[in-house]
Chains A and B, each alone.
Chain A
Amino acid sequence: MTRKQRRLTLIGTAGVVLATAFGLILFALYDELVFFQSPTDIALTPLPPGQRIRLGGLVEDGSVVRSDNAEVSFRVTDMENTVAVTYKGILPDLFREGQGVVTEGFVNPAGVFVADSVLAKHDENYIPKEVAEALKKQGHWQGENAAAN
């Protein structure tokens, strides 16, 4: 091989690897992104069944119902709309009624949100950022100022 050929081979290989990586990233970005939505978003534009989303809001007071086999159902609300959620598994330590929660899953044909993961973060005062902003948008955010009023 001449020097030029060697060079071309190397650059060619590099090009192929980089193009593959780039293609994979683009494809995955197109296909695997999970959007964050609030109950109001879902109420406005119903989801196609099977589309994965992250649903965030507050766990409605008094809505948590546990049944056997570690199944639990509750409603997620943003004070405007609510969505019924079912989940099978162990709820995070900080999952509580009236607290912020983010769940990931899809809407089943019956219109119930089937979650396969439930996140309530590591801090007792924590409301997931997305939830806080969604609530602010709805005008229901009180947050830090609540105590002073």
Chain B
Amino acid sequence: MVFWILIAVMTAVAALSVLVPLSRARRSADTPSGNADEAVYRDQLSAIEAELKRGLIEPEAAGAARTEIARRLLNAHDAHGQETGRGSRGPGLKFAQGVALVGLPAVAVGIYLLFGAPDLPDAPLSARLEAPAEEQSVDVLIARVERHLSENPEDGQGWVVIAPVYLSIGRPQESARAYAQAIRLLGPRQDWLTDMGEAMVIANQGLVPAEARQAFEQAAAMDATAVKPRFFLALALGQEGKKAEAIEAWRNLLAGAEGTEAWVGAARNELAELSGSDGPSDPGSQTPAPRGPSQEDVAASQDMSPVDRQAMIRGMVAGLAERLANEGGSASEWKQLIQAYVVLGDRQSAEKALEEAQAAYADKPEDLSSIKDVARQLGLTGS
């Protein structure tokens, strides 16, 4: 409401700037246009006199110029004499008043309603970042923490908060960097070291890089009973081709397990693969790991090896994609699929999914625009 009142005030100011000069009583011909010309020519004459006095021009040139200007002055004077009778009250006044009162507001409001978005509030970045947390999307919250950290890079707790978030939204490199900052500022802790290593492994497509290995070793040294660092160390040994040591590491790991933990299946698989190519396999390790992408598996994937986790997510995504392609699905499912592809770093498939989603919802503008919003936030081009 306030908005429209202010719009009305602005319009009124504009209309008044037309109406006020119209309504002022016409001043009599005290400054008719002829006078302006005459003033110029009079001044030209006096300039000639001044130049002559200073000796800047020759007397005869001054004389010639003077006659010329005098002639112009006379002409202007004559023309002015003929200009009497101006200022008739024609239909112009009514027309102009009508324009100011009706035409101007109609044109302005009409065009504004065509192009404007009166319902859309401002969204300055600082206000968006300061709004209460419960009204915020994850993106905003992350941006807020990031901004806080870029101003206070020595705040270790901040890094601790954001590191796992990065990992869960598919930015493992930044996650690893955040953990490294936390460890630098607050000192090493077993779980941070392990999670940092894990983030590095994910960022490295499942291979354990040397820095990650050091982190796991340090973590294992801090807490010999911790399973996760040892799990990754075993994985690293396997990847480095040290089969015997890897098999031993896996066996040690499995020996301490109760058999029901989520990671056990993955560990057995690794062991089976290693020993299968190395000699007689251990029959006890042949138990097939649960492979179907069920709800439990999603939960369990937290403890799975990153390679397996990636594989499982890919499998799930592929299933979702197939289902959506064959049977269709809700807009939010499509959005989920697009997001999943982006998280997996497969932008090409994301673009493709976006295209299919747009085709599927071409006739439902609301859903379509929400899909497009998601795509825009993910930085997809759409086409």
Contact = CB atoms under 8 A, between A and B. Distances in A.
User: Does chain A touch chain B in the assembled complex, meaning CB atoms less than 8 Å apart?
Assistant: yes
Interface of A: 144-145, 147-148
Interface string B347-383: 0100110010000000000000000000000000101
B338 to A, nearest CB: 14
Contact of A145 (B348, B352, B383): B383
Interface of B: 348, 351-352, 355, 381, 383
A145 B381 CA distance: 11
A147 B381 CA distance: 9
Contacts of B383: 144-145, 147-148
10 contacts: A144-B383, A145-B383, A147-B348, A147-B351, A147-B381, A147-B383, A148-B351, A148-B352, A148-B355, A148-B383
Contacts of B348: 147
Contacts of B355: 148
Given A144-B383, A148-B351, A148-B383, 7 more contacts: A145-B383, A147-B348, A147-B351, A147-B381, A147-B383, A148-B352, A148-B355
A123 to B, nearest CB: 16
B269 to A, nearest CB: 37
A145 B351 CA distance: 12
A70 B383 CA distance: 42
Contacts of A145: 383
Contacts of A144: 383
Contacts of B381: 147
A5 to B, nearest CB: 21
A125 to B, nearest CB: 11
B380 to A, nearest CB: 9
Nearest to B354: A148
Residue of B355, B381, B383 with most partner-chain A CB within 10 A:
B383
